[in-house]
Amino acid sequence: MRSPKHLKTSDIARELGVHVNTIRLYEENGFLPKIPRGKNGYRLYTPLHLEQARLTHLTLSWPYLGDKPLLIDLVKSAANGDLGMAMELAYKHLAYVRMERTSAEAAIEFLERWASGHLMDSSRQKMNITDAARHLNVSVDMLRNWERNGLIDVPRDPANGYRLYGSAEFGRLRVIRTLVQSGHSLMAVLRMLRQFDAGKTENLRAALDLPPEDSANEFIEVIADRWLSSLLDLETRAQAIIRQIGHMMEMIHNEGA
């Protein structure tokens, strides 16, 4: 007879709101502690297995920032009983999320300074695309891609039709580059620039972060289309991971008391 303290695979899956195969994958990938079996061969999960599965589901659910290997190490450390290392890695993840958020916020401040009319580049000489790319330390293909995607309209030399980049173009391009490098998608930047070009220079932060109401029909929304909000959500999740590891530590401590 199964002990009241033991749970079935279906019990774990039900608690997490996932398919039973997900729990089996957690086991196969080493995300759960070793699971004892009863005389009938059935897995005998304990409450700690449930909490470890909860930690795994919380930590490894999409989206990720770019530190997925660290998160996998975190989960495996906890599964192997090293909750101290798991907690250390959880705080490293939190620091990484906060660093990304700081970068995104700085990029927004850069945007807002430009939108308020401040010069962002003092170049007086008009440059062709090759010299412009060198001036901005980007590739020619990158400049062409931004223009092709509608982020900038570069004036042409009436004599030969070549693009001519001046201080206005460089200022706009520096804003584009800063926003893209801080994690915003080209679609989000384009959405913001369209509002700016329409003369609506207030609250560009919101325009950059929130798709229009008809976005389901016009755009395929990805995490970078709502980068600031996504980072806030990821920070909340990072803090939840820390709380979950702390809860597991307390469980083990109380069991041994």
* Residue 100 structure tokens: 């990304």
Who's near 5: CB < 8 A, 6+ residues apart? 46, 47
Q: How many CA atoms lie within 13 A of 105 on its CB side?
A: 8
Q: Quick one: pLDDT at residue 217?
A: 43
**Sequence-ordered alpha helix ranges (H) in 17-128:** 20-28, 47-60, 68-79, 83-115
End-to-end CA distance of the chain: 27
Residue 178 near residue 110, CB atoms below 8 Å: yes
CB atoms within 10 A of CB 157: 11
pTM assigned to the model: 0.84
Q: Helix (H, G, I), strand (E, B), or coil: what is residue 31? A: coil
* Residue 228 structure tokens: 């600031």
Residue 59: name the closest of 244, 230, 207 by CA. Answer: 244
Residues found in the chain: 257
Q: Which domains does the chain have, with CATH numbers?
A: 1-59 (1.10.1660.10), 120-223 (1.10.1660.10)
* pLDDT of the chain, 257 residues: tens digit per residue: 344 578 999 999 999 999 999 999 999 999 999 999 988 888 999 999 999 999 999 999 988 888 999 999 999 999 999 999 999 999 999 999 999 999 999 999 999 999 999 999 998 889 999 999 999 999 999 999 999 999 999 999 999 999 999 999 999 999 999 999 999 999 999 999 999 999 999 889 998 886 655 444 444 456 778 898 899 999 999 999 999 999 999 999 998 75
